[in-house]
Amino acid sequence: MSTIVTNAPFIGVAALACVGLYIMLAQRNLIKIVMGITIFESAVNLFLVSLGYRNEGIAPIFTNATGTHMVLPVPQALTLTSIVIGVATTALMLTFIVLIYRHTGETDAKKSRRVKG
């Protein structure tokens, strides 16, 4: 039972990644596809944070502490960078969807492929 509890974040990562991939592959609405990409990005962020977690870990800014486990700072920095990049790419994708909707009047992915110029 304790292995399920310790692996719960990784089970959550797998569930979020599967849901995100399913939405990206099964939906035809462009906004729903962007939502799937965002869910998948959340799974990646949760994975990065889960990699850096340690039981009873302390912040790495306390360098005088001896004999204690410190939390890894690199996954936290990568996660923060990933969040910023994710917000920017989501805004860009939604901007493209608005432009496609203005041009075609629909947000269907199949019908938007014939948009030219």
pLDDT in tens, 93-112: 999 999 999 988 889 888 87
Q: How confident is the model at residue 40, as a pLDDT?
A: 96
Sign of the dihedral defined by the CA atoms of residues 76, 78, 83, 84, in that order: positive
**Quick one: fold of 2-112?**
Helix Hairpins (1.10.287)
Q: How confident is the model at residue 111, as a pLDDT?
A: 81
- Which tokens is 49 given? 């944070």
Adjacent-strand bridge partners of 108: 29
Domain locations along the chain: 2-112
Q: Is the pLDDT of residue 78 over 60?
A: yes
Q: How confident is the model at residue 8, as a pLDDT?
A: 86
- Which tokens is 5 given? 């509890």
Could you tell me the pLDDT band of residue 117, with boundaries at 50, 70 and 90?
Answer: low
Burial class (CB in 10 A: 0-12, 13-18, 19+), 92: exposed
Q: How confident is the model at residue 50, as a pLDDT?
A: 87
Could you tell me the pLDDT band of residue 86, with boundaries at 50, 70 and 90?
Answer: very high
Adjacent-strand bridge partners of 70: 58
pLDDT in tens, 17-72: 999 999 999 999 999 999 999 999 999 999 988 887 777 777 777 566 666 777 77
